Structure 1
Amino acid sequence: MSSNLNRRSAIKGMLAATAALGIPSGFSALAMPKNETKLQLGMLKGNINHSVARWCFDDLDVETLCIESKKIGITGIDLVGPKDWPILKKYDMVSTMCNGAEINLVDGFNDIQFHEILIKNYTEMIPLVAKAGYKNLICFSGSRRGKTDEEGWNNCVIGLQKLIPLAEKHNVTLVMELLNSKIDHKDYQCDRTHWGVELAKRLGSENFKLLYDIYHMQIDEGDVIRNIRENHQYIAHFHTAGVPGRNEIDETQELNYPAIMKAIAEVGFKGFVGQEFMPKNPNKLASLKQAITICDI
């Protein structure tokens, strides 16, 4: 996941437009019969639950993204807030990683000065997520700003412990994203699997887990498959992207995504794998379809 500013800048830099994607004008739900949807879903093996990050396809409106995603077997959209949930429900799509309670990526739970507003935001959002029938709500450690690991862990525990009972009551999981601090999010504290897992252990609740971003963790630590196998019980969600560059997950980059997906399936993971890459291909939906094919092991 990237900052909203970076995301907007990246999207503006894309050459693709809706017309270049081959989407007819006036596209609607009528253009996708229910039997066609079932046919597309039936073509997938069913070992991986597929979703896609909203911001990577921000040049499409949410309704069109739902329609096109369903055609290729995607059943969830990541990183959408309450205002878009009715559209997802219209197309029987899941909000697989809800957002909207966080301040930003740098001001997080590792800094006590932000606890008051974070606790207020999450106290309001957790019941909304549950009422909508969703499960995961994203959160962030924030930047180190000179704090040691121990200080970061302690501060996160202080803040999150005030929310865990509410999350448990509503069966909502607070999910902290692992982000690289080498390239994209310098100084971010939850930048290693170990750091996130240690926080999860200290909180000791099934309602706090991690978003394992494969792209970010390849950059900061590598050893992706072993880390997934050894720590899968602390992971609620995955994100993908090609390394280097955060583009397509095809043969142009270094990660072996079929092998990674196989490892995810083998540990019995039942959550979602979200495509969160920035396509170079002007036909971005073709790249998305290719990514689902690569990950459908």
Structure 2
Amino acid sequence: MSHTNNRRTAIKGIVAGTAALTATGMLASFTACAEEAETSTQLKGNINHSVCRWCFNDLSVEELCVAAKGMGIKGIDLVGPKDWPVLKKHGLESTMCNGAEISLTEGWNNKKHHATLIKNYTDMIPLVAKAGYTNLICFSGNRDGMDDETGLQNSVEGLKKILPLAEKHKVVLVMELLNSKVDHKDYQCDKTWWGAELAKRLGSENFKLLYDIYHMQIDEGDVIRTIRDNRQYIAHYHTAGVPGRNEIDETQELNYPAIIRAIKETGFKGFVAQEFIPKGKDKLASLRKAIQVCDV
């Protein structure tokens, strides 16, 4: 199954409905989490943990909320307005809201998308604020033959038209860094320097970056140094194992405890969200282990 297609489908908000849990490890794991829900796992409190909705589409939003709460997770990423009431019911935050974007490939770097994006974000920003949330995701879009400078200029022109509204409502527009080597061919915001330059030109605390550790390891590496050097532009983090985008365990190449400690040392107060695709039979056990690995 294509990871890229999975993510694109999820980002567009086409989220699978309630699915029956399997009779194997997942059911047992979900039951255990439900029993633990009222007494969350004791975590160290240095990291605000979240999890991406689309990686656990075998569970309903309700089931994922119960499981997440039992692990000490504080929020769920990439959830739109229709599911916010479920999160609120369980005392969880929508840590990275979505629903205003067109797609990963059609973004702010191309003027032909500006009219649609401006309308979408103008409608969505007040909804995010009214719900009490902060982060709203956005994307550069693909290059389609465009050079870096043109993409920057176009993105500045478009984003400046909605930033005053974001500032008024205290909503942060967060552009995700994605790799263009493996998963998202031709995506323009595929290096930290490009996203940081866009943030510098916009000059607003209401535009930041989503530093996806998995994606940036693939496209540029030097993860800890890059995080330290660009900490002022980063509002959010995603995780996954490299290669493969699976569990962040001993089978992959990144030293996640060291990376998360470096994030903590920058004074980061936002969220670190798990965005790996579990390949183990007990997917919630994989999530629980990832939270423990990142709880430094």
If the length of structure 2 is used for normalisation, what is the TM-score?
0.92
Taking a change above 3 Å as real, the CA distance of residues 228 and 33 of structure 1, as seen in their structure-2 partners, is: closer
Q: In the alignment, what sits opposite 2:74?
A: 75
Aligned partner of 2:25: which letter?
L
- Determine helix, strand or coil for the equivalent of 1:55: helix
Q: CA deviation at 1:32?
A: 4.8
Match of 1:127 in 2: 126
Q: Which amino acid aligns with 2:96?
A: M
Letter in 1 for 2:133: Y
Residues paired across the two proteins, number: 287
Q: CA 1:63–1:117 in structure 2 vs 1: closer, same or farther (change >3 Å)?
A: same
Q: Secondary structure at the match of 1:251?
A: coil
Q: Match for residue 153 of structure 1?
A: 152
1:144 aligns with 2:143: yes
Q: 1:4 to 1:125 in 2, by over 3 A?
A: farther
Tell me, in whole angstroms, the C-alpha distance in 2 between the residues paired with 1:123 and 1:269. 28
The 3 A distance-change label for structure 1 pair 2 and 269 is farther
Give the secondary-structure state (helix, strand or coil) at the position aligned to 2:23: helix
Q: How far apart, in 1, do the equivalents of 2:136 and 2:225 lie?
A: 26
Deviation of 1:28 after TM superposition, in Å, equals 11
Which runs of structure 2 are paired with 1:101-112 in the superposition (5 Å)?
Answer: 101-112=100-111
Task: Determine the structure 2 residue equivalent to 1:254.
Answer: 253
Using the TM superposition, give the Cα deviation of residue 121 of structure 1 relative to its aligned residue in structure 2, in angstroms. 0.3
Q: Residue 25 of structure 2: which of 18, 21, 27 is its match?
A: 21
Instruction: Please report how far the alpha carbon of residue 71 of structure 1 lies from its aligned counterpart in structure 2 after TM superposition.
Output: 0.8
Show CA shifts across 1:247-287 (max 9, x none). Answer: 00001000000000000000000000000000110100000
Q: For residues 204 and 59 of structure 1, what CA distance do their matches in structure 2 show?
A: 41
- Among the aligned pairs, what percent are the same residue? 68
Which position in structure 1 is the counterpart of 2:211? Answer: 212
What aligned pairs does 1:1-297 form with structure 2 within 5 A after superposition?
2-4=4-6, 17-23=21-27, 31-32=35-36, 34=38, 36-37=39-40, 40=41, 43-297=42-296
What secondary structure, in the 3-state scheme, does the structure 2 residue paired with 1:181 have?
coil
Alpha-carbon distance in 1 for matches of 2:187, 2:29: 42
How far is 1:18 from its partner? 3.7
CA RMSD, 1 decimal: 2.3
Q: 1:268 to 1:106 in 2, by over 3 A?
A: same
Q: Deviations over 1:116-159 (max 9, x none)?
A: 00000000000000000000000000000011111000000010
Contact 1:123 1:166 in 2 (8 A): yes
TM-score, normalised to structure 1, is: 0.92
Counterpart amino acid of residue 244 in structure 2: G
1-side partners of 2:204 and 2:128: how far apart?
Answer: 18
Q: Residues of 2 paired with 1:183 and 1:77: CA distance?
A: 25
- Residue 210 of structure 1 aligns to a residue whose secondary structure is strand
Q: Could you list the per-position Cα deviations for residues 35-71 of structure 1 after superposition, in whole angstroms to 9, with x for gaps in the alignment?
A: x23xx2xx21111110000000001000110000111
Asked if the contact 1:75–1:94 (Cα under 8 Å) also holds between the matched residues in 2, the reply is yes
Residue 70 of structure 1 aligns to a residue in which SS?
helix
SS of alignment partner, residue 145 of structure 1? coil
- Displacement, 1:95? 0.1
Q: 1:88, CA displacement in angstroms?
A: 0.0
Give ranges in structure 2 of 5+ residues lacking alignment: none
2-structure distance, mates of 1:18, 1:231: 43
Q: CA deviation at 1:19?
A: 2.9
Do the aligned partners of 2:37 and 2:66 also contact (CA within 8 Å) in 1? Answer: no
Q: Is the 8 A contact 2:29 2:284 kept in 1?
A: no
Q: Distance in 1 between matches of 2:98 and 2:26?
A: 30
Counterpart AA for 2:287: L
| Alpha-carbon contact 1:3-1:104 (below 8 Å) kept | no
Counterparts of 2:28 and 2:59 in 1: how far apart (Å)? Answer: 13
